[in-house]
Structures are given as C-alpha cells and as structure tokens.
Amino acid sequence: MGMTMSQKILAHHAGLKEVKAGQLIEAKLDMVLGNDITSPVAINVFEDNGACGVFDNTKISLVMDHFTPNKDIKAAEQCAKVRRFADKYDIANYFDVGEMGIEHCLLPEKGLVGPGNLCIGADSHTCTYGALGAFSTGVGSTDMAAAMITGKAWFKVPSAIKFVLTGKPSKYVSGKDVILHIIGMIGVDGALYQSMEFAGDGLKYLSMDDRFCIANMAIEAGAKNGIFPVDDFTREYVKNRYNGEVLEFTADDDAVYEKTYTIDLSTLRPTVSFPHLPENTKTIDEVGSIKVDQVVIGSCTNGRISDLRIAAEILKDKKIAKGVRCIVFPGTQNIWLEAMHEGLFDIFVKAGAVVSTPTCGPCLGGHMGILAKGERCISTTNRNFVGRMGHVESEVYLASPAVAAASAITGYISNPEKI
C-alpha cells in the first residue's frame, strides 16, 4: 500500500520502511518550538523531571512573540523564565525583543525549518511549515518538554485528505480565501487528526506566502497538519536560507486518501469568516452591510511582505474611515524593514493606520488591539472564537489583507474590487 507525503516523512524519521494510518510510532525531531506562553510550562515539566540538558541546543527554538514587548508583570516574568533557560542551556535559536518575529513567520525566514523536516511546536499553528514540504504540527507543553530532553516524540500516523487545486485565482483571491473556502466547505472538524495534502496544477499560482497561510490554518479544520509538495517555489525559497539536507517526499500513486476534493481556484471569491467559528464563511458578495470598529492586518497567517503590499496598494492615497482603528503587524523584523524601505509605512501612516513591532498582539486578545464590548473587528488573523480578541461580546471577522484594507477605508466589510 502506498504512502502519502506526511506518512513518508514520519516513516523516514522513525527509521521505518513504511507506516500506516493509525500506527503509533516514535520519531526523531528536527525542530522543537516554544513561545513565551507555552515554554514556561514546558520548562517547569523539564525541571520537575530532573533533566539536566537538552538533546541538541541547535534544534530548539524559543520565540518571545505573544505578549512581547512585555505587556505586564506576568508577561515579563514568563519571558524572564525562558530567557534564563535559554542562557543556561545555550539555546542557539532564542529570539527576544529586537530580534524576534511572529514565530511561524520567523522560523522559515531564518532557515530553521526545511523540506522533509519533522517539527513540533507548543503552538497549534506550527502546521505552517507544511508549506515547505515538512511534517509540522502543534503539541502540548508536556510533549515539548519531553522533546527538548530526548529529541523524539510519539505520533499516531494520520490518514489524509487530498485537495486538488486547479485553475488560476483572480487578483483579490489569495491563500487566505482558499483556506477559508475549504474550512467553510468541510467544517472546523472536517479534517480531524488527518493530513491535509495539497496537489494540482493550481499550485503554480500560489506563492510561498499563500502556502504558508493555507498550511497555517489547516488546524482550523481540525487537521493534524497541512502539507504542500516541494516544487520550484519551495526550492527557490529555501535556497541560500536553509542549510540542512533538503528531502523531497512525494505521495505514491496508490496512496490512500479518506476523501479527495477538487477545487477550481478561478471560481473562488474573496471570502469572509463570520463569528464565532472559521467555518462560518460567506463570499464578499453575500456579506451585506457590516460596520467595523477595528481592522488588523498581520499575524502569522498574513503578516508577510506580499500581504502588506496588497494592503498598501489598496490604501494608497486613501483615508481610513473615521472611527476605525487600523493596526498593521509585520511578521518579522526583516519584513518590517522591507516594508519600510518600500515606502509601505508611509502609505499606512498617511492613511491613518499605525504600524507595530512584530508581535502576536491582538490575535489572541493579548495586547495592542483589544476589543471592547459590542465592537467588531475584521482581521487577517486565523481564529474568531468567542472573546478571541477581547470582550466576550465583541466580534471578529476573518478575511484577507485585501478585504481588510478595503474595509478600513469604508468602515464596512467591503469588496476590494470596488475600492
């Protein structure tokens, strides 16, 4: 019986010729990730187990991104705990204020993950790295602690769903619209503990930034991971960036999939996810008149340079609607610099937006953009659960940077094609 891309990566790292869906395996890891919220818990477990060393100080990444720069005393204590741990064990990939970025933008940019890798992170959106042809998934802090000690993790091999993408998307249809369409189609548990594997000639129209966005939100369909095949886009991205061995795994012709969906990208429309689940999707043509109080452009989902460029293209020589707060969060320091030198910040600020240092900030209701009771936000982030961005009676609508920027101008959720 053939194997999927994900199954081949797991088999390789477990030292097995083949694996099957449902099989329990122990596999060697290429990267273990934690942030300022999850790492302190993992460190407590690490210390409670009497560990006196990490398996490899170059294969652990600790990124202070959720509540940094520190928003309060508790956040400061959390970061201080991780900082001491990183110093004690000489963690090579420790990123703090001035060096850090939003973790799932930062690790690929730094070349810390690559094709064929097996990665875990104590953050659910670790599945982002599947865009590079890696098997990457989120775990709990206890698993992170065990991995830092042993360099290994247990996995139940997932079955898979295949998404065959065809056709060329229109200008304002991005990776965000693709994944929102899919989640709306299959639901938030439609891929529960399965691999979402992407294929088809439509991939040539999806940039790496699109792919990072799509893989990032695989978890919002309940998936164990999302993964793209390695192609010329991937090879160009990792060239002169990733120093590890590039391993390209392709699905066998007789690989078994639970389901196969074919999606013609040319038929998709800009898509918006309504409160309070990502599956509550409508096309921009179905939205109606919905007033917004805040617009967030950024995050690990849509904080990359192409996201900022499309937002700037729409906002150029325009003004943000009176009473609307627009906050832009570049994904990393390098993206911040690139956007600044391209003049994108001039466009944002002249329009009436503010530009932040890289941080997860409002995405999880952390800081720098919390919503009050009754307020609405259209955001390029990845979750819109009850109270996700502040008060439990606030609302979050998920959309692409193009839709978010258009909405900032009008004050209502708007079609970028009509701006």
- Judge whether residue 419 has pLDDT over 90: no
**Of 34-43, 217-226, 358-367, minimum mean pLDDT range:** 358-367
Across 220-245, average pLDDT = 96
| Residue 82 · residue 62 · CB < 8 Å | yes
Q: Which residue has the tokens 């258009």?
A: 406
> Do the Cβ atoms of 161 and 195 come closer than 8 Å?
yes
Q: What average pLDDT does this structure show over 342-347?
A: 98
Tell me which DSSP letter residue 126 carries. G
Q: Is the dihedral of CA 235, 241, 364, 402 positive or negative?
A: negative
Tokens encoding 57: 């100080």
Q: DSSP characters for 183-216?
A: HHHH-TTTTTTEEEEEESGGGGGS-HHHHHHHHH
Going by pLDDT thresholds of 50, 70 and 90, the confidence category of residue 259 is: very high
Phi, psi for 26 (deg, rounded to 5): -115, 130
- Find tokens 């309070």 and name the residue: 276
DSSP assignment of 260-281 equals EEEEEGGG---EEEPTT-TT-E
Residue 210 pLDDT: 97
Q: What is the mean pLDDT of residues 312-336?
A: 97
Closest CA to 397 of 237, 239, 286, 320: 286
CA gyration radius, the chain: 20
Domains of the chain by start residue, with CATH: 5-263 (3.30.499.10), 271-418 (3.30.499.10)
152-156 and 24-28: which strand pairing?
A: antiparallel
Could you tell me how far CA 121 lies from the centroid of its own chain?
12
pLDDT digit string (tens) for 65-107?
Answer: 999 899 999 999 999 999 999 999 999 999 999 998 999 999 9
- Is residue 1 scored above 80 in pLDDT? no
What would the pLDDT profile of 49-75 be if each residue is shown by its tens digit? 999 999 999 999 999 999 989 999 999
